[in-house]
Structure 1
Amino acid sequence: MLNAGRKKQRIWLFVWLILTLAIFVLGISLGAASVSIDRILPILLGDGSFKESFVLFSVRLPRMFVLAAAGMALALAGAVLQGVTRNDLADPGIIGINAGAGVGITLFYLIVNGNLPNFAYVLPAVGFLSAMFTALCIYFFSYKRNIGVQPIQFILVGVGVASALSGVMIILISSAERSDVQFIAQWLAGSVWGTDWPFFWALVPWLVLGIPFIFYKANVLNVLAMTEQTAIGLGMNIGRERLQLLVVAVALAAAAVSVTGGIAFIGLMAPHIAKQLVGPRYQFFLPLTLCIGASLLMLADTIGRVAISTATVPAGIVVACIGAPYFLYLLRKND
């Protein structure tokens, strides 16, 4: 059984790696200033014009790397939240964690007068602190003594908190200067704004620390996905393990949305697609979840840039157009 699962994992992982690479190349090539696919390799090797080199190295490559890193972080955060809460509908965007990070980032933006590029490495930490406070509030209000976290109540509380934080963002918009309103609106729409190399390097430490930890805790997540009685019977300290995993999931989600804006549904869709392909064991579907998350966000951004010739559709809106029906499908399925 395990050997069959590993074989299926290798096959699908190879397929999605090829697909992710293809989307990455398309994302580099397509856009307002297109770069021919057959010119990408020569430009990478230094045989390109100034315009081609500028578009590739200063515009497209950092953007695609940021999208890939953010997609992986959001997908992994969603997979962990679904295991910790034992709820297939959990997603950092749906339950308010992304909104919590957004309020913190927006307040920080207003404090530094919009000079965010100089604080690229601080943004993930700011987003984490505000998102962690939000997550703890959601956890507190969905926790019942002697019973633990109620999965349905966790989602409902999270949706309520997300709505409340959206109201806070509207208040910030109404009280901000006209020049600041554009940034807040872009964040709410999920318009990827942190597309320079410093923003990518700001994400890397969070991924380097978070991904190995979650992979190390794969067996713990398998047990947490079962009933609480089973986990207790196996001698697991449920409260401690949940808190540790929740902190890491919030850190990954907050780091991602600190540079991409309010993008939801990646953390919902990617783990489900991976589970359907290779099964529910975390050791099998976590690696595939990373590839699916990266490819979904890169594809959404690429579609948003080329769908309308006169404007750019934010990646968050493209993802929502796909993710909202998928959420309703899962809601119906789990009813």
Structure 2
Amino acid sequence: MRMSNALTLSQPIRVMLLLGALIVGASVLSLNIGFIQLAPFDVLKTVLGQGSERQELILFQFRLPRIVLAILIGMGLAASGAILQGVSRNGLADPGLLGINAGAGLGVITLILFYPAAQASVPFLLPLAALGGAALVIYTLAYKHGEVTPSRLLLVGIAVGFGIGAVTLVFSLRMDPNVYRFAVVWLAGTNSATTWSYVLALLPWTTVLVPLTIYKAKMLNVLNLGDQVAVGLGASVEWQRRLLILIAVALAGSSVAVGGGIAFIGLVCPHLARRLVGPAHQVMLPVTLLLGALLLVVADTLARNLLAPVEIPAGIVVAVIGAPYFLYLLARTS
């Protein structure tokens, strides 16, 4: 029995180790390449404190915060997608498709409209504004008769997402031209203006919510069995569903607040994780987190270098990867 368990666990562990190595490799590559190239030896010297001031500025103030933030955002969006797919029992659920990203975007744009300095001087307010906007969408519109049902969550989220996107665009048109340019790029999903303050603004959310998500893995397994079976097993279905949706909203909202409207990570990564290690959330969730981090680090590196010195929003690169996969999933589901 012990030998069987060891063999069962060896595959997920190998996958996690491989993904961890790929994240490290992609991060090191991202530190080296850019409009201003840094040789691997120069990067090593700079890390050891022997680089020039210019190299230290490029490495520690521009590239390293972007990589760290991409890892945090990728993990947050991927975890949010995995929770939503588990709660709704629908493989097409995603923070972007359910209107959570749109609600978070509306919260941030509203804050910037009335307090333009927030995006630069008080980045810690951005996740709070995003959480407020995203929670408003989910709990005000999908909540009915004392519960949030999976089908209503999906239908309301998709419908409201389009409407909120239009309102967000109207709000952004009322901004100062300089702030408007920032808003347009931000809505497409970008890490271009990243500083360590943005990393510090997101880090507490990720540090608390990601372990909580993994802790709730067994409950997601129970909810996947259906409400009647879950109740029969002693689960408080409605309370657990509300809590898990709140965690998903907080993860997506805080990630969108600092990274913009990056879609498809929450959709694609859970599916890839299930293919690699199976549907059990105890192993699927950690793999999903690593896949989200890897995908966004690679996407951000490509966005920064494909048309350098012009930068493509990372959200567009992710969409180019994710949209065909979404169509494939849609066709397969149909």
Q: TM-score, normalised by structure 1?
A: 0.94
Cα drift, residue 139 of structure 1: 2.5
Residues 113 and 172, structure 2, Cα contact 8 Å, conserved in 1: no
- Other-structure match for 2:284: 285
Structure 2 Cα separation of the partners of residues 150 and 251 of structure 1: 18
Give 1:24 deviation, angstroms.
Answer: 0.8
Cα distance, 1:96 vs structure 2: 0.9
Q: Counterparts of 1:184 and 1:22 in 2: how far apart (Å)?
A: 32
Relative to structure 1, the CA distance from residue 193 to residue 104 in structure 2 (aligned partners, 3 Å threshold; closer, same or farther) is: farther
Deviations 1:193-248 (A, max 9, x none): 45100110111111111012111111100011111111111011100001111111
1:155 aligns with 2:119: no
Whether contact under 8 Å (1:124, 1:203) holds in the other structure is yes
Aligned to 1:208: 207
1:74 maps onto 2:77 in alignment = yes
Q: Contact (CA 8 Å) 1:5, 1:279: kept in 2 or not?
A: no
On the 8 A contact 1:144/1:150 being kept in 2, the answer is: no
Name the residue aligned to 2:33: 30
Query: 2:188 maps to what in 1?
Result: 189
The Cα of 1:192 is off from its aligned counterpart by: 2.1
Corresponding residue number in structure 1 for 2:124: 121
Partner of 1:170: 169
Given the alignment of the two structures, is residue 11 of structure 1 paired with residue 14 of structure 2, yes or no?
A: yes
Q: Partner residue of 2:108?
A: 105
For residues 132 and 2 of structure 1, what CA distance do their matches in structure 2 show?
40
Matched AA of 1:48:
G
Instruction: Give the conservation status (yes or no) of the 8 Å contact 2:113–2:171.
Output: no
Structure 1: stretches of 5+ with no match in the other structure: none
- Asked if structure 2 preserves the Cα contact closer than 8 Å seen for 1:193 and 1:260, the reply is no
Tell me whether 1:62 sits opposite 2:61 in the alignment: no
Equivalents in 2 of 1:266, 1:138: separation in Å?
24
Shift in Å, 1:114 = 3.5
Compare 174-183 and 93-102 and name the one that shifted more.
174-183
**Gaps (5+ residues) in structure 2?**
none
2:138–2:153 contact (8 Å) kept in structure 1:
no
**2:106 and 2:133 in contact (8 A); partners too:** yes
Q: Helix, strand or coil: the match of 2:36?
A: coil
Q: Distance in 1 between matches of 2:257 and 2:240?
A: 26
Which residue of 115, 137, 140 maps to 1:137?
A: 140
Q: Is the 8 A contact 1:89 1:155 kept in 2?
A: no
When residues 105 and 255 of structure 1 are mapped into structure 2, their CA distance, relative to the original with a 3 A threshold, is same
Secondary structure, in 3 states, of the residue corresponding to 2:295?
helix
Distance 1:194 1:220, change over 3 A: farther
C-alpha separation in 1, matches of 2:145 and 2:227? 13
Partner Cα distance (1:179, 1:209) in 2: 35
* TM-score, with length taken from structure 2: 0.95
- Give the SS at the match of 1:311: coil
Does the 8 A contact of 2:118 with 2:126 survive in 1?
A: no
Asked whether the equivalents of residues 101 and 131 of structure 1 are also in contact (C-alpha less than 8 Å), the reply is yes
Q: Distance in 1 between matches of 2:227 and 2:85?
A: 15
Query: Are residues 1:269 and 2:268 paired?
Result: yes
Percent identity, aligned pairs only, is 38
Task: Indicate if the aligned counterparts of 1:103 and 1:165 stay in contact, CA closer than 8 A.
Answer: yes
- The one-letter amino acid paired with 1:29 is N
Match of 1:83 among 83, 86, 89: 86
Paired letter, 2:136: F
Match of 1:21 in 2: 24
1:225-236 to 2 correspondences below 5 Å = 225-236=224-235
Paired residues of 2:130 and 2:254 also in contact (CA < 8 A): yes
Kindly indicate whether the alpha-carbon contact (under 8 Å) linking 1:193 and 1:259 is maintained by their aligned counterparts in 2: no
Alpha-carbon contact 2:113-2:174 (below 8 Å) kept: no
Cα contact 1:193–1:261 (8 A) shared by 2: no
The answer to whether the 8 Å contact 1:215/1:286 transfers is yes
2: distance between equivalents of 1:117 and 1:312?
20
Residue 138 of structure 1: how far off its partner (Å): 4.5
User: Judging changes above 3 Å, is the alpha-carbon distance between structure 1 residues 284 and 2 closer, same or farther for their aligned structure 2 residues?
Assistant: farther
Equivalent position SS for 2:94: coil
Following the alignment from structure 2 to structure 1, what is the Cα–Cα distance between the partners of residues 118 and 157? 31
In 2, are the aligned partners of 1:28 and 1:61 still within 8 Å (CA)? yes
* Alpha carbons 2:86, 2:221 under 8 Å: kept: yes
Alpha-carbon RMSD across the aligned residues, in angstroms, is 1.7
Paired residue type of 2:149 = V
Please give the secondary structure, in 2, of the residue aligned with 1:104. Answer: helix
